[in-house]
A and B are shown apart, each in its own frame.
Chain A
Amino acid sequence: DGGITQSPKYLFRKEGQNVTLSCEQNLNHDAMYWYRQDPGQGLRLIYYSQIVNDFQKGDIAEGYSVSREKKESFPLTVTSAQKNPTAFYLCASRVGTVQNIQYFGAGTRLSVL
């Protein structure tokens, strides 16, 4: 089955700890994205990557880091510098630039202990 897999589904972070959220896709998509959703808010873009070994900051990149070493994988690290990390995190990939549709994973709920 083709799709986007995010893990874990739930994650807890202690104060001062870095945590990494996994996102894997087997759709052969070039572009991948990370969003954050807070209650009553839309999706806000954290980081995106149009191609392997390249990525750009989105609107709320502070306190986060990413890597794109493989086409299939785009992990997101929530660092201790992110003071309000509790949110629902969504990973997406895009099928192309003309038909600009992004497909999403099931999300990871991050909470602070």
Chain B
Amino acid sequence: GAVVSQHPSRVICKSGTSVKIECRSLDFQATTMFWYRQFPKKSLMLMATSNEGSKATYEQGVEKDKFLINHASLTLSTLTVTSAHPEDSSFYICSATRQGGWSYTFGSGTRLTVV
């Protein structure tokens, strides 16, 4: 079955530094990847949609300069949280789909803590 690997699973960084989170589709080509943010006891909020080779499309209210998304290949998308602050601490989850399908495979998530 389709597998999406997300790394790291947990990261602690200092305020002001940048953190990169990777999302890889291991056994399929992911033409579209989605990045979500989840606050404790809350639902998943879609941050952005990325298509391979194109600029990401950000949801309203999401700072594209703070959350840099790159989808350079059909198997890899990255989310970089730039100049992280404590309020960026959250659980980030990626999801990937094949072309033309509504089959979503989720990564296991990344717990980001900014201190």
A and B are interacting partners:
no
